[in-house]
Amino acid sequence: MKIDESVSLIIPAYNEEKNIGRVLNMVSKIKWLDEIIVVDDGSTDKTLEVINKYKKVVVVGRAKNGGKGQALADGIRKSKFKLLIFLDADLIGLKEIHLLRLLAPVLFTKSADLTLGVFGLKKINSTKIANRTFPRISGQRAIWKKYLPPLSKIRHEKYGADIVITMGVPKSKIAVVVLDGLSQVIRERKDKDWIRSVQARYRMYRDILKSIKKQKKEIIQDLDLRS
């Protein structure tokens, strides 16, 4: 398929040695992707070793884990093109059609400035329910670089970085698309230390809620300044 616009794909990764290869096997075969950037956020496993096997991938390595916000900011800074796609590193069932669905509203129909991708509900789990209920937390998205907030705002967030990226785009210009057949690794099932996994999940949602509260406060302040 031919796409007239150059596209950069950004994937943040932390300790994803068992998953990142599955994602890169697919995206590295897509001819219209002009740039694939993977940010290794200080992984302590063999994530970086796996990433380095893919010649098409631009690797951004971080010596120390700084959180998703810093990883995304580094990937954005490294990217060359105006149109960006973001994907998580632990996706299951990823296909080219999923990336095209993310692009459709912002590039083909031009009906949105930001697309958020949510999982289908064929096999329901907690991640899919949260993803469908709160699309703004989705890591699967497409956006024009000009609509991104300053990188300094993104860098200061952890899991709340996804929320920060959406807050600058009016609701009327955000499209939500269903990515049928796509899912994500459920950490609580895979991690032998399930207590630690649940704690990590709690920290993730805590960071997201903090970001929502913080961004709403800043928006109100901006409105007060304009009035």
pLDDT, residue 102, reads 98
**Two tokens, residue 174:** 């955000």
pLDDT, residue 224, reads 41
How much is the average pLDDT of 47-60?
96
Q: Cβ(143)–Cβ(106) under 8 Å?
A: yes
Q: Is the pLDDT of residue 125 over 60?
A: no
For residue 35, with 0-12 CB atoms within 10 Å meaning exposed, 13-18 middle and 19 or more buried, which class applies? Answer: middle
Q: Tell me the domains of the chain and their CATH numbers.
A: 7-184 (3.90.550.10)
Give SS3 for 85. Answer: strand
Q: What is the tens place of the pLDDT at every residue in 188-207?
A: 444 455 555 545 555 665 66
Residues, the chain: 227
The whole-model pTM stands at 0.82
